[in-house]
Structure 1
């Protein structure tokens, strides 16, 4: 999404996304109806929407939707917060930076899903293991982005703050963190998308409820409509969360994105 999106005319911010969604749905309908032409392999969007609407009276949202949303959001808050705080401290203490930054970079390269079975062994089957998996994955992303942002602050800006009598940690909170917010929010957008992926992976492996758990059960039944419906809900959730982070970004970092 372009940084200029929020400052485009209101009609463009409304019409263009709607047109894009309509084109996507039309392509999906054409592919499902005339190319695949087999609802057991690819249902059309109308069938999927009807199925999602029917879930409202079946307790699906109370059981699976809520389980995924809670685990994702709680894990995201824990992981992103710890990554942000740890990143600030490590970026400011040179010894800690030299010790921990290479280690965290190496660990970030490791697929988090590879340790998912171990996390399940540690935390058991259920909510705790999903929260832990999301928190671990988002921690590394937020840490790397925070450190990069803190160390990218202009040295001239820091020198100016020192000239006005700013102490070390006062400069950190009033200058460096403020200047690093672009990096922080970029990391948070990545975390927003990654958190749902990690939560669903955890639900695939071991869970008693959740959209990933439902997807696995639907795959056993070879129910394409149910699987497409679950994927549609997940895509909608991830899009809303990422868009919310972008809106918050532009509201809080208003001095950079205000009109010239």
Structure 2
């Protein structure tokens, strides 16, 4: 491949500059098509620029690097190759064992020529093989299953909710968690949907997830968590998109690529 392109997402300007300069020295053919300082911009620019390589800082304002990778995996269009993802992290060697186990590429801060050089040497041959590039989306989805909190198989923390407190006018309504069919993120709120009603609670899905029983409530999209006891069937539409039919409900819920593996046997 001639002139591969990279996008850097790093919120510390000095580190972003260092990474860009080191890449130019170690990989002169690589063109840096953009540098952004937050996760939301990383998603926006990656979808617009379609880079070959994406360097994602783990901790960024708004969205983390893992959340940005998850959103890209869900929204990436059919056809173009998914970028090779390299996580940039300040974690120590013990925390990095999780990345090694998931076969994720990473660069440890502070950035060194030796470590970045090894990453460059791993990336170059992968960019030259279309068959392997075609499997990149599946690879990053597999990594995210191990690395993103809230996914089935990733242990949560804290006490499990048994009751949801939702404001309805001047009253507080208590909703048993077992009656919830699904939770849906809406800006700064979460919509709590039962068979009889919908109620907004002022929290984020990220804050809510660790309090839910992971054997009962599965995240199926970055903005949706469903009660598996309410699922009637998993169906595919004419475009191949996976949809969930809930019991006694006409509305269908969309399952993103990241979570589609949960329903292979349905």
TM-score (norm 2): 0.23
Q: Which has the larger radius of gyration?
A: 1
Higher helix residue share = 1
TM score, norm. by length of structure 1: 0.23
